[in-house]
Amino acid sequence: MSMKFPIERFRKAATPLYYYDMELLQQTLDKIKGSVSRYGFNVHYAMKANANPAILRRISEAGFGADTVSGGEIAAAINAGFKAEDIVFAGVGKTDGEILLGLREGIGCFNVESAQELEIIEQLALEERKVARVALRINPNIDAHTHHYITTGLEENKFGLDISVVPQMIQKCMQSKALSFVGLHFHIGSQITTLEPYRMLCERINAIQNDLEQQGMTSIKSINVGGGLGVDYDDPDKHPIADFDPYFALFHNHLKLRDGQQLHFELGRAVVAQCGSLITRVIYVKEGIGKRFAIVDAGMTDLIRPALYQAHHKIENLTGAGRELRQYDVVGPICESSDVFGHDEMLPEVHRGDLIALRSAGAYGEVMASRYNLRSLPGCIAE
Ligand SMILES: Cc1ncc(COP(=O)(O)O)c(C=O)c1O
Ligand SMILES: N[C@@H](CCCC[NH3+])C(=O)O
């Protein structure tokens, strides 16, 4: 069964717009909370996936923390009601200004990605007379078997620290009055659709913990395993809520947490992807040579995932019920040949003015929109 869309609202609205089904978001949040509370785990929502204020507020009200990657995200998280101590801050290139913001707001943790970054955080914390809580992000060299552009835990990737430098960085934290070491951070990639990479991650973390303990380092209070759980882009109505139970159970079963150690997750896509759709209007239908194009008013500026990762979002003609199926390339108005949402899509005959939904667009959709071609940013209905 397809999602129920408020089509009459869309008819009156300017398009393109992002539509968020807030009830589905709430059900997803309830499901995650039920699932993690069984094990006492924590979730920091990776707000890079979607920082729409209505979405952020709903997620903060549900009691999640926030995983941020910029000063802008820290500020937006605080505005949306996330408590500073529940905010973690990752990223390979934190600027001095962003670190200062994190220190002054008193965020929960800096996920540190290089030895030089640790030096700078220490120096700035000393100047500010603050203690920075830090976790070290380790690159576990695990293949997440996902798109090349969104794998993050391989040695060739820029993210995280090589394990060889971690003991001396923990020592540095122990010796500094401005640094407080809280734990280890990992994140292996995004849109991961099998649990095997996570099982490997658990084994890797178990080995790392054993090694560090043998070197006398026993003060790891928290383990953060990042996010990455994938969603079903092919059939969003079959799986409107991702398979959270086996995912959390895997960590419960395979990760050897020490007494009192906390486990954190940083899920983004699996929280918000399915509640969002990009709604666009057909401007023209054009007969090409051996092709028929449905030219819509949304483009790669509104949803860049197809152009950037060859991703496919399910396409539905919301206003074509009862019409015969015909084949279309669904394309946007941008002056780029990659501005294509779908090739050879079978859709109920498309007419000018029809409303089209690009499904599963709640994650890395609106937040990645740009003004290329000096277009306006897409609108939004969240209800
Ligand atoms: C450090 C970190 N944590 C969490 C996430 C969230 O990933 P996802 O949206 O795939 O759950 C990302 C993005 O890949 C990330 O870079
Ligand atoms: N933006 C990507 C995911 C990147 C995740 C951030 N590390 C996507 O749309 O799939």
What is the CATH number for 306? 2.40.37.10
Which of 252, 272, 292 delimits the end of a domain? 272
Q: Name the residue at shortest CA distance from atom 9 of ligand 2.
A: 364
Task: Mark whether 290 and 265 lie in a shared domain.
Answer: no
Other C-beta atoms closer than 10 Å to the C-beta of 327 total 11
In a domain? residue 14: no
The Cα–Cα gap between 249 and 232 comes to 20
159 pLDDT tier (thresholds 50, 70, 90): confident
The Cα–Cα gap between 299 and 304 comes to 8
* Backbone phi and psi for residue 375, each to the nearest 5 degrees, phi listed first: -85, 160
Q: What residues line ligand 1, using a CB cutoff of 6 Å?
A: 46, 49, 67, 90, 152, 187, 190, 226-229, 266-270
Gap from CA of 119 to ligand 1 centroid (Å): 25
pLDDT digits (tens, 9 = 90+) for 256-312: 999 999 999 999 999 999 999 999 999 999 998 999 999 999 999 999 999 999 999
Q: Is 198 annotated as a binding residue?
A: no
Task: Mark whether 125 and 208 lie in a shared domain.
Answer: yes
Does ipTM exceed 0.95? Answer: yes
Other C-beta atoms closer than 10 Å to the C-beta of 320 total 19
Which of 254, 272, 290 delimits the end of a domain? 272
Over residues 135-161, mean pLDDT: 78
155 pLDDT tier (thresholds 50, 70, 90): low
Q: Name the residue at shortest CA distance from atom 2 of ligand 2.
A: 364
Residue labelled with tokens 């152009």: 307
The residues near 272 (Cβ < 8 Å, ≥ 6 apart) are 25, 28, 49, 50, 55, 362, 363
Task: Mark whether 77 and 219 lie in a shared domain.
Answer: yes
Average pLDDT, the chain: 95
121 to each of 3, 24, 93, how far by Cα in Å? 47, 40, 12
In a domain? residue 7: no
Q: Is 25 annotated as a binding residue?
A: no
Other C-beta atoms closer than 10 Å to the C-beta of 344 total 10
Task: Mark whether 375 and 320 lie in a shared domain.
Answer: yes
Our measurement of the distance from residue 253's CA atom to the centroid of its chain's CA atoms, rounded to an integer in Å, reads: 25
Over residues 303-328, mean pLDDT: 97
In a domain? residue 11: no
Task: Mark whether 259 and 283 lie in a shared domain.
Answer: no
pTM: 0.96
Gap from CA of 86 to ligand 2 centroid (Å): 22
381 lines ligand 2 (CB under 6 A): no
In a domain? residue 28: yes
Task: Mark whether 224 and 318 lie in a shared domain.
Answer: no
Task: Identify the pLDDT of residue 218.
Answer: 81
Query: Catalytic: which of 109, 173, 202, 335?
Result: 335
Over residues 11-19, mean pLDDT: 98
Checking if the pLDDT of 150 tops 70, the result is no
Task: Mark whether 186 and 72 lie in a shared domain.
Answer: yes
| Nearest alpha-carbon partner for 275 in 237, 305, 306 | 237
Please identify, by atom number, the ligand 2 atom nearest to the C-alpha of residue 48.
Answer: 6
Task: Identify the pLDDT of residue 332.
Answer: 98
Q: Is 305 annotated as a binding residue?
A: yes
Count of domains for the chain = 2
Please identify, by atom number, the ligand 2 atom nearest to the C-alpha of residue 150.
Answer: 4
Q: Which domain holds residue 169?
A: 22-272
Residue 335 designated active-site: yes
In a domain? residue 130: yes
Which of 272, 299, 321 delimits the end of a domain? 272
Task: Mark whether 215 and 170 lie in a shared domain.
Answer: yes
In a domain? residue 256: yes
Task: Mark whether 252 and 280 lie in a shared domain.
Answer: no
Task: Mark whether 128 and 181 lie in a shared domain.
Answer: yes
The Cα–Cα gap between 190 and 269 comes to 8
CATH assignment of the domain containing 222: 3.20.20.10
Q: Is 228 annotated as a binding residue?
A: yes
Task: Mark whether 305 and 209 lie in a shared domain.
Answer: no
Task: Mark whether 213 and 300 lie in a shared domain.
Answer: no
